[in-house]
Structure 1
Amino acid sequence: MLRFLHTADWQIGRQYARFEVEDAAALAEARFTAVERLAGLATEEQVSAVLVAGDIFDAQGLSNRTLHRTFQAMSGFAGPWVLLPGNHDAALAESIWSRAQRIGAVPDNVHVLTRPEPLRLDAIGAAILPAPLTQRQTHEDLTAWFDDAATPDGLVRIGLAHGSVEGQLPESADSPNPIAADRAATARLDYLALGDWHGLKQVDARTWYSGTPEQERFKNNGAGQALLVEIDRPGAVPRVEARATGQYGWYQWRRRLAVASDLDALLEELAALPAMSVIDLTLAGELDLAGKQHLDQALSAAAGRHRSLQVDTAELALSPTAEDLADLHADGYVGHVIRELQEQQTGDGEGADTARRALGILAGLLRERPSAKESSS
């Protein structure tokens, strides 16, 4: 029986410009941690090999230190690693792969498949048919040669490719590099290990995308996993099991707040998330002053609990109640302005909406002012 891990799209060197510097650095570091977890999983599961279906690196111009760190992160598994260049790290004439070889970063147990020719791994009973990208994009199906490729009888026949299976992925998939939907059948493959789609996806019984081992987008597509594959013998249907490898979960929510129970439900949802999540939260609707204060306190606590919490409140209006306004003890000119805004906010229309927003802003400022006791101390 052949037992191996299928992974892809490590994207080592990926940048996270939308995040705070500290969070961006932690998310970039998590790419290395994911590789270490893969190595540990491979050793724990006693697999015969680890197959990586492209985009090990996010760009060609990464530093030599990053190259050394990547291969050192793989040291937890002593068996064969089989790496395929993808669209982000294509096997150009002068590429990140040729530089990695030149600086001595690639260990002896790592096979970098830069040419479309079979790799025989007789010791584990497998033959790997790779379709390396030699440029970022191509309009040819680089797996076509699999159909006529000869491999010895008795070896499990595995394809390794990076691109878009025709008719299976959205048009916004990472690259147009096409792969025939029936390639596993026409090439008599026991398994076709794919990369490029960053989520977990089964195309057919023998064809799978593993997704990236560390989630990096707000998509609910099964990212943050690797595939453990078992094949009893050549021709047998593979058994495929997803194993979690990711460190951070990513959550993108839009919530509308209208009544107190909406706020309670939101805070319960936040509390139920695993610690150190990455959260993008958009809030709309309106809150009174007490609700806004409760929300601010809860979000402050959540920001300390999670890796990143980004909140957009541009559509969330502050709508103080009559009791809120009475508690502000505003008199004189300010009190007059508040009464005017109260009258103008009734009804619909742009003027009423502007008055509601202005009233909310003014009430918030008044609530945050220091008390007479604080001012005199």
Structure 2
Amino acid sequence: MFNRRQFLGYSLGITGSMFLGPRMTLASVDTDRRFVFIIQRGAADGLNTVVPYADPSYSTLRGAIAIDPAESLKLDGMFALHPALTRTAEFYGEGEALFVHAVASPYRNRSHFDGQNVLETGGTKPNQLRDGWLNRLLPLLPQSKEEAIAFAPVLPLALRGTVAVNTYSPSKLPEPTEELLMRVAAMYDRDAQLHALWAEALEVREVAVAIEEREEAANLGTMAAGFLTTESGPRIAMIETSGWDTHAGQKGRLKNQLTKLDALFGSLRDGLGDVWSKTTVLVATEFGRTAAVNGSGGTDHGTASAAMVLGGSVSGGRVVADWPGLKPAALYEGRDLTPTLDLNVLIAKATAEGLGLDPELTMRTLFPQQVFDKSLPVLVSA
């Protein structure tokens, strides 16, 4: 029989890696500028990330999961950041970060698979295009002699296409399945001593995993910066983050997710050093979440969300938004934040300005089914 220390160690060993960490993809092109695309898989909640605290309907809709204005990081008279985004707030204060709210891709049906397909291919509907917008971007830039390389088990759809991208994934032990964890819990459920130990182990694991995942995110930012600062290294990176689907228990889960994202931002900037001034980072998700909290302390699949643009040459210190408001009559289909800005136009503009390309040509190449909208203000200075 296990003693207490052995039991906790074993329990942490089988549960400590159950969450999928972020993954990185890199591409080599011959330019002095850098571009990083960070995808938030799972539909990140923009309303509790870039918080419209001054909207009179916000606190009523969000109830128990509303972010307390006193604890939030104020951006202006309308919006604030989630308190976990401390480094991000510093970037904003230094004019190196901006946020775009009430933004969405052309997709409207709330399926993760289809929403991510539209986001990564650049189509206006699922499976309309077979290659990814990030792969179509590469021929617009001078090519280096090195092939692109993806550090991921499966090449992300955004980078699939005519430009060759190799993949590499380090070996790792298989992660425990939810079924296994449920069976272990059921096995210990009738044993008073082991049930208590199992519950304690899960509590310890939750703290340990949070620390481990934060360090993992920071290490990923440092590793990405190492590649991007190498003289002959890649200039394009894609980082995948998961776990943004917060149907239940959102308050703690979103805090953990944003803490990791903030650590990723901080280590990336620190690792890039002087190269940060030549780097543009774009962060986006497939769609947002419902305006109102649900019965499980979470939010369901929605429509518009918030995107982020960071970097040393970003014209930051502002929130770009044609704010629709959160009154019942203003919600999309009576439940979601209404989209007022086009995510594809944002991607094209941030990419073009960050890499010194023609915005309209970039739009036609990355999003061939759409017309470039010139009304979006400058995001990245020349």
TM-score normalized with structure 2 length: 0.28
For the pair shown, the structure with the greater C-alpha radius of gyration is 1
Higher strand share: 1
